[in-house]
Amino acid sequence: MQKQTIADVNLVDKRVLLRVDYNVQFDDSGAILDDHRLKESIPTIRALKEQGARIVICSHRGRPNGVVVEELRNAPVASHLSALLGEEVLSLDDAIGPPVSAVVDSMKPGDIVLLENVRFYPGEETNDPGFARALSELADVFVSDAFGTAHRAHASVVGVGFYLPAVSGLLMQKELDYLNQVTESIERPFGIILGGGKVSEKLRILGHLADKADVICVGGGIANTFLQGQGIDVGDSLVEESRIDDALSLMRIASGRKDLKLVLPTDVVISDSSGGVVSTVSVNRIPPGFRILDLGRQTLEDIREALRPMRTIVWNGPVGLFERSPFDTGSIELAKILADSVAATTVVGGGETAAAVAKAGVADRLSHVSTGGGASLKMLEGTLLPGVEVLLDKE
């Protein structure tokens, strides 16, 4: 079912509570480390301004656990957003209460304020009805653009939707359109790339999408479990022993389907415990005391060839220890492979995978890079998101 958007409601001179995901970090100099999420919210903010709405933005930052943490205040976010928009975004010292209501009541059409970090309030993460009602009293309409938190049943994500008409913003709409396209309306051939560390997380994706896939490429820590399941000695590499049977089951399914190709590593980049010795070896020649930290060149070429005919490609999870050079090479090269797949719709899950794409500098050459790691993972698993379910359905 499609959800109503800001195009489906009258917002002229309406107070709009706009939930965004501005969970960003700043360095010691006060510079923002990554403003991708802020930039992605700007089309919705501008569309609301064009409709003459009074825009009350709310977001969380970090995990303050219901208490005020000075370094997690939203004031620096408001300052950076002001610079991006080229106009003032007023930062408030609270998220609810009479002083906040007074400021909101004095707003003119097109004005923008940013509430204080909603996770400073214990009622946010418990989805407390009292806190949700207090937030809802600041607005006439709730607009959700926080796809990155849509899998959380929190007060500012779900609770306010029980007190206000709730619709999606442009970013939320874009996220849902692309992720529905690659889970429900797939153009085949369809390729899936899975990385990261936990097989258990990826098995749910495979359970939902494997029967629709033509190619499944496995890398990162989860590939070690598949290799060990084949009887390959992976040295000191991370392995989920309890998931070896699941990996073997998937390999049996793949071998029984002539139309499904499973690509596993044939060569890998390894290092010893000190990190001082780095080399590329066949998966059958991993010395004792070494561990797999990235994909080798031949494996990347195998993935490139397997993905060449694909019309839809989904990637979730880096294929190496991409936070550390030189073990970021595989993920960076994989991002470039997707960027070169111009005939395919390419969709990348958020979180670490999005960070790898940013590191490769090819985000603008992919169809969609999600702003939500956990939320995109849940959608790829086929799980309903509470922050989406609360939005009004289109008739």
Q: Is 275 a catalytic residue?
A: no
Q: 52, 110, 235, 374: which one is catalytic?
A: 374
Catalytic residue among 19, 37, 49, 61: 37
The secondary element (H helix, E strand) that includes residue 373 is helix 373-381
Eight-state DSSP code of residue 69: -
Please state, in angstroms and rounded to a whole number, the distance separating the CA atoms of residues 309 and 55.
45
86 is catalytic: no
Amino acid at 115: L
Residues 228 and 292 sit within 8 Å (Cβ to Cβ) = no
351 carries an active-site annotation:
yes
Residues β-bridged to residue 61: none
CA dist 2 and 8 (Å) reads: 12
| DSSP character at residue 24 | -
| Closest listed residue to residue 42, CA positions, set 17, 22, 62, 14 | 22
Q: Which token pair is 240?
A: 């989920």
Phi, psi of 90 (to 5 degrees): -75, 125
Catalytic residue among 221, 296, 317, 351: 351
CA 37 to chain centre: 10
DSSP string, 252-275: HHHHH-TT-EEE--SEEEEEETTS
Q: Which residue has the tokens 């849509």?
A: 150
Is 198 catalytic? The answer is yes
Which helix (H) or strand (E) segment holds residue 114: the answer is: strand 112-114
Is the Cβ–Cβ distance between 376 and 179 less than 8 Å?
yes
- Contacting residues for 330 by C-beta, under 8 A, at least 6 apart: 219, 269, 294, 295, 296, 299, 300, 318, 319, 320, 322
Out of 73, 198, 212, 365, pick the active-site residue.
198
Judge contact between 263 and 306, C-beta under 8 A.
yes
Among 94, 202, 172, 140, CA closest to 368: 172
Q: Active-site residue numbers?
A: 37, 198, 351, 374
